[in-house]
C-alpha cells in the first residue's frame, strides 16, 4: 500500500500557480489603488452584497474568483456580505427573472442609504440573450435604479476589479459610502 501511494505521489505533476501578488503586479496595483481610494472616502473596507437575479451563473463564478486565494480582494478591503443590511453596494448579475423581481426590490429596500447598485454582466445591463423572453422581467435597471454597469459576458475578475476602482473614483457627494 505504501509503495502504491508513493508511486501515485511521484507521478503527480505540479498543478499550482503563483499568486497574483507575486506573479501579476496588475492585480496588486489595482488592489492597492482601491485601498487608497477607500481610505480617501473615510472607509477601510467596502461591503458588497451580490444578488443573482436570474443569470447563467457565469458572473457568479467570476465574482467568486475574486475571493479566491488567487485574487484575495479582502486584503484590499473588499468583502462580500450575506445580508443587504450590512452592504455598502449591491452587485446584481443576470437579467431579472420574473420570480426574482420582487426579491430584488426587497433586497434593494433593505440596503442602507446611500444605495449603490452595480449591474454586472451583459444580461444585467440589457437582458443579454434572454432579452424579450416571457420569463424575464427585464434588465436590472427595469426593476431597481442602477448606478454603474460592468459589461462583459461574463466580465473577468480583473475587469471587475478595474471597474470597481473606476466606479469608486466616480462616487460624488450623494453617493459617498457612509460611515458606520
For residue 8, what is its C-alpha cell? 501515485
**Residue 153 counted as domain residue:** yes
d(CA 140, CA 121): 11
- Residue 75's pLDDT is 86
- SS3 at position 67: coil
Question: Quick one: CA torsion of 146, 70, 64, 39, rounded to 10 degrees?
Answer: -40
Distance, CA of 101 to CA of 98 (rounded, Å):
5
> Is position 14 within any domain?
no
- Check which CATH number belongs to the domain holding 30 and give it: 3.40.50.12280
**Number of folded domains that form the chain:** 1
* Residue located via cell numbers 486565494: 69
129 and 159 in contact (C-beta within 8 Å)? no
Query: pLDDT digit string (tens) for 57-80?
Result: 889 989 998 888 888 888 888 899
Q: The pTM is what? A: 0.79
Is the distance from CB of 150 to CB of 106 less than 8 angstroms? no
pLDDT tens-digit series, residues 121-149:
998 998 888 888 899 999 999 999 999 99
* pLDDT band per the 50, 70, 90 thresholds, residue 13: low
Residue 3 lies in a domain: no
Report if residue 10 sits inside a domain.
Answer: no
Residues 43, 22: Cα–Cα separation, whole Å: 27
**Banded pLDDT at 109 (limits 50, 70, 90):** very high
Of 153, 149, 151, 143, nearest to 118 (Cα)?
A: 149
- pLDDT of 179 reads 39
96-97 vs 78-80, strand pairing mode: unpaired
Amino acid at each position: 500500500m505504501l509503495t502504491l501511494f508513493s508511486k501515485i505521489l511521484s507521478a503527480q505533476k505540479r498543478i499550482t500557480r503563483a499568486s497574483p501578488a507575486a506573479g501579476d503586479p496588475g492585480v496588486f496595483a489595482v488592489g492597492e489603488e482601491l485601498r487608497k481610494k477607500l481610505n480617501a472616502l473615510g472607509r477601510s473596507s467596502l461591503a458588497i452584497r451580490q444578488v443573482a437575479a436570474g443569470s447563467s451563473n457565469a458572473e457568479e463564478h467570476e465574482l467568486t474568483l475574486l475571493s479566491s486565494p488567487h485574487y484575495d480582494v479582502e486584503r484590499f478591503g473588499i468583502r462580500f456580505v450575506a445580508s443587504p443590511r450590512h452592504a455598502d453596494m449591491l452587485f446584481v448579475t443576470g437579467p431579472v427573472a420574473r420570480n426574482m423581481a420582487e426579491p430584488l426590490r426587497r433586497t434593494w429596500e433593505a440596503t442602507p442609504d446611500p444605495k449603490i447598485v452595480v449591474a454586472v454582466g451583459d444580461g444585467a445591463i440589457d437582458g443579454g440573450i434572454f432579452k424579450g423572453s416571457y420569463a424575464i422581467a427585464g434588465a436590472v435597471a427595469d426593476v431597481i435604479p442602477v448606478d454603474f454597469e460592468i459589461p462583459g459576458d461574463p466580465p473577468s475578475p480583473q475587469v471587475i476589479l478595474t471597474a470597481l476602482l473606476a466606479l469608486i473614483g466616480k462616487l460624488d457627494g450623494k453617493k459617498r459610502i457612509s460611515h458606520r
